[in-house]
Amino acid sequence: MSFTSFAFLFFLPVVFVVYWILQSHLRLQNLWVVIASYVFYSWWDVRFLLLIIITSCSSYGSALLISRNPSRRGLILWLNILLNLGILACFKYYNFFADSLRDIGETIGVDFSIPELSIILPVGISFYTFQSLGYVLDVYRGKAKPTTDIIAFLAFVSFFPQLVAGPIERATSLLPQMLSRRYFNRNDAVDGLRQTLWGVFKKMVIADSCAMAVNQVWDTWQDATGTMLLMGMLLFTFQIYCDFSGYSDIAIGVSKLFGIRLCDNFRCPYFSRNMTEFWRRWHISLMTWFRDYVYIPLGGSHGGKGRTIVNIFVVFLLSGLWHGANWTFVTWGFYHAFLLVLLLLFNRKKQRYDDPASFRQLPSVLLTLTLVAIGWVIFRSDSVNDGVAYLVRMFSLLPSVCIKDLVMGKVALILCSCLMIVEWLTRYRRYALDFSPTGIFRKPVCRWLLYYVLLLMIILMHGDEQMFVYFQF
């Protein structure tokens, strides 16, 4: 079930009403969350439920066993990791590695007869697997106490707003909320509806409009002009941002309706001044997961530059693989690791990333955005060769820029330009509709007029319905 489907439009109010009717019965309320989440998830394929139940129960049991068997805690941890990553590898990576081995065999003249599996990739498997693993690792490291309330734990893993595309929540943040009474707060609910509206607008109006032009460019990129290839690159850059950050806004906003706070996943990443800052603002929950459970355990930046460089490449190799079983994602990960290593070696300035960029830093912002956009071409392409050929053709044909070639995606370009202006003006806020107590929107009539304008644009201007990009991961 997608957030932008009619089914969800009916599903959400029913879940909301029953949820708050059960406010005084925490265990029943959590059970309702589990039931609703399983219905939400099984809407794609009911068979997927078995995997999330296995992942949830194994992690729940492993955490309890770790706390009760200190002498075997390491063994229990590794068995849980092998089980959950084994499920993930089987469904997501088996055919990828089988194909790669066969290709290597053909190169060296050896026949690797490895059968392929005809399996469907379960929606969101990478997200709930990492969330469950994080819980067990936190218990193992003493950062979280194992819960004995299995209903609350199942609700923690399966909470439907963030189940299939994050944010990847930590047990230390979300699980205590599932174990505590929640009370309806009107201000939080209104704030959640605003953030949900903004997320739906970004997804249905901007991302889906960009997708139509992007798909057309990528389908015919071998014959496209340099201008069209440039437009395809730029529009995909905004498509994937509005698609994924739009999902995160909806997830965070819907969660507020249920008295649940999720972590921020995006903080104006396209206004970053270098690649380090970009990865502190893009898909924050995933990158902090890799930082805490991979980068720091490997030694982080405390073993000298050589060790730091190796750790960076390991993290971004895993990040690329996390995104999908394709060499394009691996190459994309190495590309970003290479840019971060260059910054580490040649940038000696200590920078602060808490404050948003200023006008005088726009050249650095534009350079960073350009580098990010080039990486997205590899990410979007069917193969590494196609991605490289796309970029070579684009840069070789750019001198012959033709304005008329922009007609195909002009509406999407205008929408993206307006988005950048809005996000620049609101870059100090959590999201664009997070109104300040001063200014024109402090008046209810102005706020409601804006809401109706956004709703009208969603109804009239949305592009062809596209599945959320990150559902495939």
Active site residues per annotation: 323
Q: Which two tokens stand for residue 109?
A: 């003249």
Buried b (16+ CB within 10 A) or exposed e, 150-184: ebbbbbbbbbbbbbbbbbbbbbeebbebbeeebee
Residue type, 256: K
Q: Which two tokens stand for residue 434?
A: 């997070």
Q: Which two tokens stand for residue 193?
A: 């509806």
User: What is the Cα–Cα distance from 243 to 457, expressed in whole angstroms?
Assistant: 16
In eight-state DSSP terms, residue 178 is H
User: What is the Cα–Cα distance from 450 to 306, expressed in whole angstroms?
Assistant: 52
Task: Give the angle subtended at the CA of 108 by the CAs of 107 and 112, to the nearest 5°.
Answer: 85
> Helix or strand or coil: residue 91?
helix
User: What is the Cα–Cα distance from 34 to 159, expressed in whole angstroms?
Assistant: 7
Ordered alpha helix ranges (H), 141-184: 150-158, 171-178
